[in-house]
Structure 1
Amino acid sequence: MSVAGDKYKTDKGGLGETVKIVVQALVLALVVRTFLFQPFSIPSGSMKDTLLVGDYLFVSKFAYGYSRYSFPFGIDLFEGRVWSAEPKRGDVVVFKLPTDNSTDYIKRVIGLPGDKIQMINGVVNINGKPVQRDRVDDAVTRDQFGGEVHIAQYRETLDNGTSYLTLDLDPDSVLDNTPVYEVPPGHYFMMGDNRDNSQDSRVLNAVGYVPFENIVGRAEIIFFSVEEGNAAWEFWKWPWTVRASRIFTLL
């Protein structure tokens, strides 16, 4: 009787310990996701070639402080941001779409509050000064039939030294020449690196100026990447679908 009773107690204690560990792990994961780093995946090509469809990255939640959108479901605990630090021009950020706060977008910060932004013949102009834009080797991709497609590629360098590559699919697209956008106080102007395939702040009725409160965090590092059309959890396709060269790429 005593042996059986001891076994029952041991089994019951083991189950309790397992439940305790699982709960602790879930709480820890929630804390990390809310206050430190949140994983995101890239579903579209608007940030090519900086970010590709199939990239998985960590976003720093503490980089700019915390707003209601730092928390799951956008719980409205307070107004504005706490422990805030302003984004820098050139940062890659995740934000809640102003026209639909349930949707996450990822773009590059081009305009700061008070800036005047304009596209002239495909060149970004900030406060009347064109951003340095140098032609580099074409980006090479594949069409649906497997043939090579060459896309004009440029290196932009901002006045703070931030440098990155952009794509120009069409040298005369509708968003290559725009009116002047005056960024309101407390807002930011976002653009995708794939300039002719990005719905961003240039489209005022779809994205427009992004309130500081809507910024979720700063993209920091690509921690995993798989070829477009594949899922990260399909481990039986590894390593053939894994883009090993992109893993641990800093942004």
Structure 2
Amino acid sequence: MRCVMRGSFCVAGLLVSVCGLAACGRGAATAAAPLSPGASPAGVSVSGVVRESGAQALGGVTVRAAGNGESAQTDGRGVYRLTTAARTSLEFTKPGYEMRRLGEFEFNSDATIDVQLQKIITIGPGERIAAAIFADDGFYTVVSASGETCGPCKVIRLRLAATADVDVHIRWEPTESASLVTWIAGASRTGTSEITFPASMAAGETAIYVGARSRQWTKAFPMSALPFEISTLRRSSAP
């Protein structure tokens, strides 16, 4: 019997019991047969397809199982297969894409796990770019006091050469109940058509999370994707 899981998955932090394994994520599943007395769950086969969020299958993605260090690469159809310990997390990496770490899983049979990766998007001060949140974008645990989860979530990376006060402005076409949340450095703001977020940014790279609060997507957005525009403006120092 195989335990089949499909859909979008999140980073470590949300554990739910699905079809005989402890899994982080959401998606349809078919039940797996329980282990027989004395059976060993070690050495299970995990396979699946890796796609770019909202787009095609991705080849050349490295999939690594933390449980035993086993790794594999996706082929031209985005398919991977590896053998791992019964208890493990999975890491998906490809240059130019956000890394995804899923788990921790507890397998009791072979499993299929499909994953979406999103391209790394960067923005600098004074820039304006267009992006979109897809229904199959991943879930990300936001570093905040409440440990909130953004998902589906688009990650935008703001790069600064020096510490600066920056206004981050996000706007999208208003639709019924289309409420987005933006998280920067653990703080959040919500809007129904635009968000302006003043923030003091350190030099280097700061992650900006744009999306819905965990499990709110289908309630808030009756569409597969929501385009938005993000711009940044460095604030002048007071005289």
Normalized against structure 1, the TM-score is what?
0.25
Larger radius of gyration: 1
Choose between structure 1 and 2 for higher RCO, CA contacts under 8 A separated by at least 6 residues. Answer: 1
Normalized against structure 2, the TM-score is what?
0.26
